[in-house]
Chains A and B, each alone.
Chain A
Amino acid sequence: MPQPLLEIRDTTKIYRGGFLRPGQQLVALQNFNLTIPEKPATITAIAGESGSGKTTLANLILGFISPTSGEILYRGQNILTMSMRQKLEYARQVQAVFQDPYAVYNPFYRVKHIFDLVIKNFKLAPSKQAARDLIEEALKMVGMRGEEVLEKYPHQLSGGQRQRMMVARAYLLKPRLIVADEPVSMVDASLRAMILDIMLRLRDQQNISFLYITHDLSTAYQVCDDIYILYQGSIAEKGDTVRVIENPKHPYVQLLIESVPVPDPNQKWNTDVNLPSEEELRSQVDTGCRFYPRCPYHMDRCLVKQPPLYEIDSGTHRAACYLYDQPPAEAQSGGMEQQEESRAG
Chain B
Amino acid sequence: MTVTLNGMNTDRKTTSNATVLEVKNLRVHYATPLGDVIAVNGVDLKVFEGETIGLVGESGCGKSTLAMSILRLVQPPGRIVSGQIQIHGIDLIALSERELRQVRWNQIALIPQGAMNSLNPVMRVKGQIAEAIETHQVQRSPQELKERILRLLAMVGLPGRVYDMYPHELSGGMKQRVCIAMAIALTPSVIIADEPTSALDVVVQRVVAQTLLDVKRTLGVSMILIGHDMGLMAQLVDRIAVMYAGNIVEIAPVKDIFAEPLHPYTQLLLASIPSVKERKPLVVTEGLTHDLRRPPPGCIFQLRCPFVMDKCREVVPPLRELRPNHYAACHLY
Contacts and interface: CB of A to CB of B under 8 A. Distances in A.
Interface stretch (A118-126, A211-219, A312-320, A323-331): A211-219
Contact of A279 (B59, B207, B231, B272): B207
Interface in B193-210: 201-207, 209-210
Contact of A221 (B2, B3, B268, B274): B274
B287 A160 contact: yes
A215 B1 CA distance: 26
Interface stretch (B6-14, B26-34, B294-302): B6-14
Contacts of B120: none
Contacts, number: 158
Contacts of A277: 1-3, 157-159, 207
Given A49-B203, A49-B204, A222 B234 contact: no
Contacts of B172: 50, 280
A259 interface: yes
A194 B203 contact: no
Interface string A208-251: 00000001111101110000000000000000001001000000
Contacts of A197: 282, 284
Contacts of B140: none
Contacts of A1: none
A268 B231 CA distance: 10
Contact of A263 (B1, B171, B231): B231
B59 A188 contact: yes
Interface residues of A, number: 50
B273 interface: yes
A255 interface: yes
Interface residues of B, number: 56
A256 interface: yes
B284 A193 contact: yes
A259 B255 contact: no
Given A159-B59, A190-B58, A277-B157, A218 B275 contact: yes
Nearest to B257: A265
B7 A271 contact: yes
A265 B234 contact: yes
B207 A275 contact: yes
Nearest to A159: B59
A280 B207 CA distance: 10
A194 B276 contact: no
Contact of B206 (A192, A200, A274, A275): A275
B269 to A, nearest CB: 6
Given A215-B202, A266-B255, A274 B274 contact: no
Given A197-B282, A245-B276, A262-B277, A275 B210 contact: yes
Interface centre among A245, A257, A271, A276 (most CB of B within 10 A): A271
B136 interface: no
Given A49-B201, A269-B206, A280-B204, A221 B229 contact: no
Contacts of A264: 234, 258, 277
Interface in B156-201: 157-159, 171-174, 201
B234 A280 contact: no
Given A49-B204, A189-B228, A158 B279 contact: no
Interface string A177-202: 00000000000111111101100100
B219 interface: no
B141 interface: no
A144 to B, nearest CB: 11
A276 B158 CA distance: 10
A263 B258 contact: yes
Given A193-B284, A217-B202, A277-B159, A263 B276 contact: no
8 contacts: A158-B59, A197-B284, A218-B231, A263-B270, A265-B254, A271-B8, A273-B4, A280-B204
Per CB-CB distance, the 6 closest pairs between chain A and chain B, nearest first, are A280-B171, A261-B231, A49-B201, A218-B274, A263-B231, A189-B228
Interface of A: 49-50, 158-160, 188-194, 196-197, 200, 215-219, 221-223, 242, 245, 255-257, 259-269, 271-281
Interface of B: 1-9, 58-60, 157-159, 171-174, 201-207, 209-210, 228-235, 254-255, 258, 268-270, 272-277, 279-280, 282-287
